[in-house]
Amino acid sequence: MIDIRIEKTTAPKAKPDWDNLGFGNFYSDHMFLMNYTEGKGWHDARIVPYANFSLDPATMVFHYAQEIFEGLKAYRTPDGSIQLFRPDKNFERMNRTNERMCIPAVNVEDCIYALKTLVDIDSDWVPVKDGTSLYIRPFIIATDVHLGVHVSKTYLFAIILSPVGSYYAAGINPVKIFVENEYVRAVKGGTGFTKCGGNYAASLIGQAKAEKLGYAQVLWLDGIEHKYIDEVGAMNVFFVIDGEVVTPTTEAGSILPGVTRMSCIELLRSWGYKVSERRLSIDEVVDAYKAGKLNEAFGTGTAAVISPIGELNNNGEKMIIGGGKIGEVAQKLYDNLTGIQWGKQPDTLGWTVKVN
């Protein structure tokens, strides 16, 4: 296992108001850092007090966005212990992202060990209240100081921790989603399947437009025909059409292969649901809605957990789904997934990893 130098803070921060965490507003006392240098590999692993970075203005990440990230959570269980949910899947995905973005691979076991050590040190930042958790944000940035467009030879890997409540202000209540018919998020051969910051930067214009119109997020369609459903930026999407659970296939490489998405598919199949990972056009969803066969729509994600979609606006045509209430499939997934994550029900699938 890697050797981690630990330097504890001498000035712990005041804790936030646990009743009003929101998402991504507060950061714990420590962070994990590790550097990469070509010829030397990943080195100098350390846990140090949370602090600003000092970087040269010509650092490559500022100019060419060679940056990637992950998102996972630590959960407080009823007996007071802390656990992670499938952290191996996040670091394995991080390496698939790294490969596409020309960033050196990380060692998955070392990352899990580093994360467990960090969360244990900052264990008093893992909230206790129902529906809250410690959001974990590992990320890597290119640190060469250079303005030529090349692959960086040096990197900084960091993990920061943020106690959070729900991602959406609406909580588990259905969110309104705007179908984006003008801008696109990803194309085949691009970076849609990765968790690189650039994907999110490119999505902001659609997000801003949707927010102005009173919608929480954007439903992205494929980049070529503007016809097939991809994902909702911060979530993968599922539709229940006439009893069949359908979610867009990740085959084209334009969708993030979500850990929550994968877990939902596995749970649904284990319960006997018919789940299809296939191409799904927005027209098929509209037709199902008109025929009264669109039973449910919901998003899945680490931050968003299970988020029912109560309204879809496609070219001004509003589809009100499930009468403003969470549907049966989404509710069952929410109860079981959060039951496993927060340790309120047995983890028969071996998905959780104890921190302490």
Rule CB under 6 A: which residues touch ligand COI? 71, 234, 301-303
Comparing every residue's Cβ against ligand COI, the nearest one is 71
CA distance 58 to 289: 52
Apex CA 248: angle with CA 243 and CA 253, to 5°? 165
Neighbours of 355 (CB within 10 A): 20
Smallest distance, Å, CB 286 to ligand COI? 27
Smallest distance, Å, CB 251 to ligand COI? 21
Strand 175-180 and strand 217-220: the pairing is: parallel
How far does Cα 266 stand from its chain's mean position?
Answer: 18
Smallest distance, Å, CB 301 to ligand COI? 4
Residue 301 or 343: the one with the smaller Cβ distance to ligand COI is: 301
Query: Which helix or strand (DSSP H or E) is residue 283 part of?
Result: helix 282-290
- Nearest CA among 118, 114, 108 for reference residue 88: 108
In degrees rounded to 5, what are phi and psi of residue 331?
-65, -45
Residue 106 or 306: the one with the smaller Cβ distance to ligand COI is: 306
Q: Are 308 and 326 in contact (CB under 8 A)?
A: yes
**Does the CA dihedral 79-80-81-84 come out positive or negative?**
positive
Smallest distance, Å, CB 335 to ligand COI? 19
Neighbours of 185 (CB within 10 A): 25
Smallest distance, Å, CB 252 to ligand COI? 20
Smallest distance, Å, CB 202 to ligand COI? 13
Residue 50 or 69: the one with the smaller Cβ distance to ligand COI is: 69
Residue 302 or 336: the one with the smaller Cβ distance to ligand COI is: 302
Q: Which two tokens stand for residue 99?
A: 């490969």
Q: Are 161 and 118 in contact (CB under 8 A)?
A: yes
Residue 23 or 113: the one with the smaller Cβ distance to ligand COI is: 23
Task: Read off the amino acid at residue 51.
Answer: A
How is 142-183 classified by DSSP, letter by letter? E--B--SSS--SEEEEEEEEEEE--SSTTTTSPEEEEEESS-
Residue 106 or 303: the one with the smaller Cβ distance to ligand COI is: 303
Smallest distance, Å, CB 298 to ligand COI? 14
Residue 49 or 257: the one with the smaller Cβ distance to ligand COI is: 257
Smallest distance, Å, CB 5 to ligand COI? 28
Residue 163 or 314: the one with the smaller Cβ distance to ligand COI is: 163
